Copies of this chain bind each other. A is one copy, B any other.
Amino acid sequence: MSKKGSKSGKKQMVYFFGGGKAEGQSTMKGLLGGKGANLAEMTNAGLPVPPGFTITTEVCDAYNRAGKKWPAGLEEEVKKNLARLEKLTGKKLGGSSNPLLVSVRSGAAISMPGMMDTVLNLGLNGSSLKALIDLTGNPRFGWDAYRRFIQMFGDVVMGVPHHDFEHILDGVKKKYRRKSDPELTAEELQEVVAGYKKLYKGHTREEFPEDPIEQLRKAIDAVFGSWNNPRAIKYREINDIKGLLGTAVNVQTMVFGNMGNDSGTGVAFTRNPATGEDRFYGEFLMNAQGEDVVAGIRTPEPISELKRHDPKAYKQLMAIRKKLETHYRDMQDIEFTIEKGSLYMLQTRTGKRTAAAAVKMAVDMVQEKLITKQEALLRVDPNSLDQLLHPVFDPKAVSGAKPIGNGLPASPGAASGKVVFSADEAEAWAAKGEEVILARVETSPEDVGGMHAANGILTARGGMTSHAAVVARGMGKCCVAGAGDVVIDYKAKTFKAGGATVKQGDWVSLDGSTGKVYKGQMPTIEPKLSGNFGTIMSWADEAKRLGVRTNSDTPHDTAVAVNFGAEGIGLTRTEHMFFEGDRIISFRRLILVAEEVKDLRRALEAATGAGEAKKIEKNLKAPLAQYNKALAELLPLQRKDFEGIFLALKGRPCTIRLLDPPLHEFLPHDDAGQKEMARSMKVDVRKIKATVEALHEFNPMLGHRGCRLGITYPEVSAMQVRAIIEAAINVAKKGTKPGVEIMIPLAGNAKEFELQRDVAEATIAEIKKEKKLKKLPFEVKIGTMIEIPRAAVTADEIAKKAEFFSFGTNDLTQMGCGFSRDDAGKFLGEYVKLGIYEYDPFQVLDQSGVGKLVDMACKLGRRTRKNLKLGICGEHGGEPMSVEFCHRVGLDYVSCSPYRVPIARLAAAHAALKEKAAGNSRKK
């Protein structure tokens, strides 16, 4: 981008456009705003654009910084450009013969529709009004333009309440029994103008300005100032618009679509923004101004009808449509006006579109040779693909509905159902054929069955990586998590939210893409995947370097993910498997004796005499037998789990993480649950309570979990490794060789990893001996998760024995930033608002902090082991910005929940293409 300097060597503050030439161009959006840059571009492209000039965003910034003062030289530049405009048009601002009227509009680099201010018909005063009436021979048009100007100027520039103007207008209408504005005569409008001027003076303590230069200066001030009005600030906050200097100001010759039946105005998209279909799409009104189209007083006609009203203009517009698409090589959103048979283009910009339309247009435009495949890929926002993969609410139904609660958009999609408050009830109701929504304060692994049975899950607590969120995303099921304003009462089987009380069995609707909770049943639209989607995905695979795997714990999820293009599993969490069916009983039996076994073994080690040792050995016998029995019960069940997953993967690699959560997560914490457990297992409830108490931790996140469990209970690790290897042998016999990757969780220390690796290797050696195998009929890799900061900074040591790293960025974020993901919701929102973090670090990887640890670990690890395999299996693995980061630091793959696999594939392609582009631009 080149910035022209003015003669004085200072930066140019105003850019002229008109007469087939413009000083700006479309690449200058940062400086001229989107509107200004495109007006310039269209002018240069020979399109009929009313001439004008644009004051830069830099000027806005300087103005606001200087405490609302014009920078030196601006006045001069504005006057010079105004003179140029007057010369080009042959009109004069405020002139008494051929008056120039202008619009003054805001326009930032990123569109903020309706957020900032606009003044139309500027330049009108006593004498120019008279001239306008003389010229048009239409007093009503003149007086109407004037009253509109006074109202807009008074409201926007001087802060006279809009409502007060409307009040005067209504008064005159009432007086003359007029039902609508167009019915008012010129004389009646003159009365309105008088009332407006009086109101203006009463409010501002000055006369309405006659001097058009003063009008212009004040209007420009107002547009500059509107950059920082509260609603604009909020809009930028909500839409995450950052780093802009301010708004540009466009001063442009007015054209009028309301000069009679040979005039009109309209808006259009060059293709259908909802479907992507290659048809001109829009609407218009004859004898109307832009605001009339929006106001909805008259119903606009579809654009194809223009052919009937004004065939010449229509033909011209169709040519412009073609020209714009060829010029911009993308679908455009345009505004036009016809003034007495002449067509004028007021705006063009790249049109917003649905995900489906984006995909279709991208593929079509490649076939039309308008863009390359690479460009096509970059045209589709990876995040938007969510829309294509999950059901959404019918937009018509949503537009009227008021949500009763708000939570985190934890798992996308939309769902309606009758609300229930326990997993058991969810299963029972679903079995009866009911549509169900499961509402819980928070979920635990025990709830997985109920979550599966429900259409959607609502939790009152927990973040984007809470149990509910993670499991729901894995299932591709809609989930709204951590809805703080939803107060659940399990006893009463109700929840309260937004003033409403919802009872069990009442219909509720959840939007997992927005986090909104509605009362009642809302119609959903099921997603359909088009052939174009497959095309884009195949192009993405050609472009990307990163592998994309999935996080999956079941054969079903695995099959879904493989169908979405997953190249393997990056994370299988084995603990979820412990909850299914009867196995939870075996595992709980193990837990109940595990501490005892551990303590007695330690006592045995410390025993000084043979007598003492014998006594301890005797005491150890019974619990150890129970411990080993539980392990023996779990082994075949786990083996079967792994067989299913290996089969679903059809030879693709599979990273299986050994047991990770602390043992207390497998025990019930409430009295009723404990009693039920005691009854069903025939154990003293006091034993259960004592175990829960003994396992209690102040900060479980930093507690006895991950490989720390494996160190304390090596037999549990050994059982899991045995199940994995035996399953793989069984599957290999059926003809496909599984790619087995055993992952040790939560290692923070090389030695810790090595001890667990030793257990795995000894188990494998044992199996080989038992089965008389010289070598296994498949490859086994043993690696670790890097999720503790210490592991990241000592990755060179760990890589000596670890064959792969998988970054567990959820925990790495928790420990790296010192945020408990279950608690940080209390302040993280504010942190993002204050700009402490640009995004919630649990949603978007904190690249400058946690990312530095990841980068460091990659470099250190590969220093020791050149071919170290690197991946990520935290929730960030499916988030486009984070995927781009993973590409940049050289990971081999990302892994994410099944329904995010397409998003990750496209994001990986974007990352590769952007890198290439950056490399090319560096070469230049």
Q: Is the CB of A794 within 8 A of B712?
A: no
A 816-874 contacts with B by CB, 8 A? 816-820, 822-824, 826-827, 830-831, 834-837, 846, 848-850, 852-853, 856
Interfacial chain B residues near A214, Cβ < 8 Å: none
Comparing A201-209, A633-641, A702-710, the segment that makes contact with chain B is: A702-710
Q: Is the CB of A697 within 8 A of B823?
A: yes
Q: Is the CB of A836 within 8 A of B699?
A: no
Interfacial chain B residues near A834, Cβ < 8 Å: 711, 751, 755
- Chain B residue at minimum C-beta to C-beta distance from A607: B230
Report the separation of the CA atoms of residues A788 and B819 in the bound assembly, to the nearest whole angstrom: 10
Supposing A793-B853, A815-B789 touch, asked if A823 and B712 sit within 8 A by C-beta, the answer is: no
Supposing A698-B700, A823-B698 touch, asked if A790 and B814 sit within 8 A by C-beta, the answer is: no
| A749 interface residue per 8 A CB criterion | yes
Q: Is the CB of A849 within 8 A of B699?
A: no
Interfacial chain B residues near A698, Cβ < 8 Å: 700-701, 820, 822-823
- Chain B residue at minimum C-beta to C-beta distance from A793: B852
Report the separation of the CA atoms of residues A712 and B831 in the bound assembly, to the nearest whole angstrom: 9
Q: Is the CB of B711 within 8 A of A831?
A: yes
> How near does chain B come to A855, taking the closest CB pair, in angstroms?
10
> How near does chain B come to A852, taking the closest CB pair, in angstroms?
5
Supposing A699-B702, A703-B823, A823-B698 touch, asked if A856 and B793 sit within 8 A by C-beta, the answer is: yes
Residue among A755, A814, A823, A830 with most chain B CB within 10 A? A823
> How near does chain B come to A785, taking the closest CB pair, in angstroms?
11
| A434 interface residue per 8 A CB criterion | no
A 634-658 contacts with B by CB, 8 A? none
Q: Is the CB of B822 within 8 A of A699?
A: yes
Q: Is the CB of B790 within 8 A of A818?
A: yes
| A52 interface residue per 8 A CB criterion | no
- Chain B residue at minimum C-beta to C-beta distance from A754: B836
Interfacial chain B residues near A703, Cβ < 8 Å: 820, 823-824, 826
Supposing A748-B849, A834-B711 touch, asked if A702 and B790 sit within 8 A by C-beta, the answer is: no
Residue among A697, A790, A811 with most chain B CB within 10 A? A790
A 703-752 contacts with B by CB, 8 A? 703-704, 708, 711-712, 746, 748-749, 751-752
Q: Is the CB of B789 within 8 A of A816?
A: yes
Report, as a range, how many residues of chain A touch the other chain: 35 or more
Q: Is the CB of B755 within 8 A of A814?
A: no
A29-66: CB near B (< 8 Å → 1, else 0) gives 00000000000000000000000000000000000000
Interfacial chain B residues near A848, Cβ < 8 Å: 794, 797
Interfacial chain B residues near A826, Cβ < 8 Å: 703-704
Interfacial chain B residues near A824, Cβ < 8 Å: 702-703
Interfacial chain B residues near A797, Cβ < 8 Å: 848
- Chain B residue at minimum C-beta to C-beta distance from A797: B848
Residue among A702, A751, A755, A815 with most chain B CB within 10 A? A702
Interfacial chain B residues near A789, Cβ < 8 Å: 789, 815-818, 853
State which of B699, B708, B793, B837 has its C-beta within 8 Å of the C-beta of A699: B699
> How near does chain B come to A721, taking the closest CB pair, in angstroms?
19
Residue among A698, A700, A797, A834 with most chain B CB within 10 A? A698
Report the separation of the CA atoms of residues A79 and B470 in the bound assembly, to the nearest whole angstrom: 73
Interfacial chain B residues near A700, Cβ < 8 Å: 698-699, 820, 823
Report the separation of the CA atoms of residues A836 and B712 in the bound assembly, to the nearest whole angstrom: 12
Interfacial chain B residues near A794, Cβ < 8 Å: 848-849, 852
Q: Is the CB of B749 within 8 A of A827?
A: no
> How near does chain B come to A466, taking the closest CB pair, in angstroms?
10
Report the separation of the CA atoms of residues A516 and B414 in the bound assembly, to the nearest whole angstrom: 62
Report the separation of the CA atoms of residues A536 and B594 in the bound assembly, to the nearest whole angstrom: 52
Q: Is the CB of A749 within 8 A of B704?
A: no
Supposing A789-B789, A849-B794 touch, asked if A755 and B836 sit within 8 A by C-beta, the answer is: yes
Q: Is the CB of A701 within 8 A of B699?
A: yes
Interfacial chain B residues near A815, Cβ < 8 Å: 702, 789, 815-816, 818
A 790-805 contacts with B by CB, 8 A? 790, 793-794, 797
> How near does chain B come to A232, taking the closest CB pair, in angstroms?
14
> How near does chain B come to A870, taking the closest CB pair, in angstroms?
19
Q: Is the CB of A827 within 8 A of B712?
A: yes
> How near does chain B come to A885, taking the closest CB pair, in angstroms?
15
Report the separation of the CA atoms of residues A704 and B787 in the bound assembly, to the nearest whole angstrom: 22
Q: Is the CB of B817 within 8 A of A748?
A: yes
> How near does chain B come to A510, taking the closest CB pair, in angstroms?
22
Interfacial chain B residues near A697, Cβ < 8 Å: 820, 822-823
Interfacial chain B residues near A751, Cβ < 8 Å: 834-836
Interfacial chain B residues near A849, Cβ < 8 Å: 748-749, 790, 793-794
Q: Is the CB of A830 within 8 A of B704?
A: no
Report the separation of the CA atoms of residues A820 and B697 in the bound assembly, to the nearest whole angstrom: 9
> How near does chain B come to A490, taking the closest CB pair, in angstroms?
15
> How near does chain B come to A608, taking the closest CB pair, in angstroms?
8
Interfacial chain B residues near A852, Cβ < 8 Å: 793-794
- Chain B residue at minimum C-beta to C-beta distance from A826: B704
Q: Is the CB of B822 within 8 A of A749?
A: no
Interfacial chain B residues near A749, Cβ < 8 Å: 817, 836-837, 849
Q: Is the CB of A711 within 8 A of B830?
A: yes
Interfacial chain B residues near A822, Cβ < 8 Å: 697-699
Report the separation of the CA atoms of residues A703 and B827 in the bound assembly, to the nearest whole angstrom: 9
Residue among A712, A746, A815, A856 with most chain B CB within 10 A? A815
Interfacial chain B residues near A835, Cβ < 8 Å: 751
Interfacial chain B residues near A602, Cβ < 8 Å: 830
> Which 10 residue pairs spanning A and B have beta carbons closest together?
A699-B820, A702-B820, A789-B789, A790-B849, A698-B822, A788-B818, A697-B823, A699-B701, A699-B699, A703-B823
Q: Besides the contacts A748-B818, A751-B836, what 9 more A-B pairs have beta carbons closer than 8 Å?
A: A698-B700, A699-B701, A699-B702, A711-B836, A749-B817, A788-B817, A789-B853, A790-B846, A794-B852
| 16 pairs of residues in contact across A and B, judged by CB atoms under 8 Å | A602-B830, A699-B700, A700-B823, A704-B823, A711-B827, A711-B830, A749-B849, A751-B835, A787-B818, A788-B816, A788-B818, A789-B789, A789-B815, A789-B853, A793-B849, A794-B849
